[in-house]
Amino acid sequence: MRPVGAGSPAPQFPGDVIVEMRGVRASRPRPPDGRRPVLDLPLFQVQRGERVAVLGPSGCGKTTLLHVVAGLLGVDTGSVRVAGCELSGLTEAARDRFRASAIGVVFQSFNLLPTLTAEENVLLPLRLCGHRDSARARHLLKRVGLTQEARAPSSHLSAGQQQRVAVARAVVHEPMLVVADEPTGNLDRASARAVTDLLLEVCEEAGASLLLVTHDRDLAARLDRTVMMADINRVGGSGAGENAS
């Protein structure tokens, strides 16, 4: 399906590289009016269909890396190509449209809009692209084992169920890339394993690459490749800032 929002850049990418960051520098606001550097990446790539884990301690810039790849945060300098689209040259509105059509996201917690039901949360990316394929949303909810909970308010679901809904939402629009920020960080071991299995399976079924940030070496080991943040980010050690994540 790969719905693309009106006016969004058409995802075209020659070769097998789905994410390519070159000479990227990114910073975050430092109150009251300064900025502190968080990311300095000479080169970072993810291949098409590849499942990459990014490991590193808190504050080393992992989340910032995900936000830049997802177009949630602009860069100061450098090139960020995702699915053939140069994000650094796009306006924020264009990045929003690109994200709506080509990227799925899963966060550690509070993934769902509490005012919507599970099904409505899954449908959200489709509706933002102007589609309303309830059948696909229901299919995915069935796929993640939440058929009965489709109409339940998301706030009534357990943490594990909420993460499964988030996984379904991340792939409902058949994105080329799913970014996940410690998706199992708030779950018990059994739930974490179940959610990880699900995430890997649905990404594979959807043909999406996966870029996953985690502290969990066991989880990282299940992916195709592990990248240590300290190896790629020249804002080294804790230089990325304690709160940069």
Partner 1 sequence: MTGRGDRIALMATLAWRSLRRRALSSAVTVIAVGVASGLVLAVWSIQDQARRAFTATPGGFDAVLGARGSQLQLVLNTVFHLDTSPGNIPWTMYERMRNDPRVAAAIPYAVGDSYASYRIVGTSSELFSRASLGDGALVIEPGGRVFGPAAREAVVGSMVARRASLGLGTTFEPRHGFGADATQHHESFSVVGVLKATGRPADRVIWVPVDAMLALEGHVIRGAGVEYVPRPGAAIPIEHKELSAVMLRLCDPNAGFSLDDEINRRGRTATLAWPIGTSVAEVFQKLGWLGEILRVVALLTVLVAVASVLAGIHNTLEARSREFALLRSVGASRGIVSGVVAGEAFLLGSFGAVVGVAVYAAIFAVSAAAVHARAGVILDPFAYHPVLLLGPVITVLAALLAGVVPAVAAYRSDVSTALTRS
Number of residues this chain uses to bind partner 1 (CB under 8 A):
40
Three-state SS string over the chain comes to: CCCCCCCCCCCCCCCCEEEEEEEEEEEEEECCCEEEEEEEEEEEEEECCCEEEEECCCCCCHHHHHHHHCCCCCCCEEEEEECCEEHHHCCHHHHHHHHHHHEEEECCCCCCCCCCEHHHHHHHHHHHCCCCCHHHHHHHHHHCCCCCCCCCEHHHCCHHHHHHHHHHHHHCCCCCEEEEECCCCCCCHHHHHHHHHHHHHHHHHHCCEEEEEECCHHHHHCCCEEEEHHHHCCCCHHHHCCCCC
Closest CB to partner 1 among residues 74, 84? 74
- 110 contributes a contact to partner 1 by CB under 8 A: yes
Interface segment toward partner 1; rule CB under 8 A; list 42-50, 61-69, 205-213, 219-227: 61-69
Closest CB to partner 1 among residues 48, 127? 127
- 136 contributes a contact to partner 1 by CB under 8 A: no
Which residue from 51, 97, 136, 164 is in contact with partner 1, where contact means CB under 8 A?
Answer: 97
What is the smallest separation between the CB atom of 100 and partner 1, expressed in angstroms? Answer: 2
What is the smallest separation between the CB atom of 221 and partner 1, expressed in angstroms? Answer: 26
Interface characters, 16-45, with partner 1 (x: CB under 8 A): ------------xx----------------
> Which residues of the shown chain bind partner 1 in the complex (CB under 8 A)?
5-6, 28-29, 63-64, 67, 70, 72-73, 92-93, 96-97, 99-101, 103, 105, 107, 110-116, 120, 124-125, 127-132, 169, 243-245
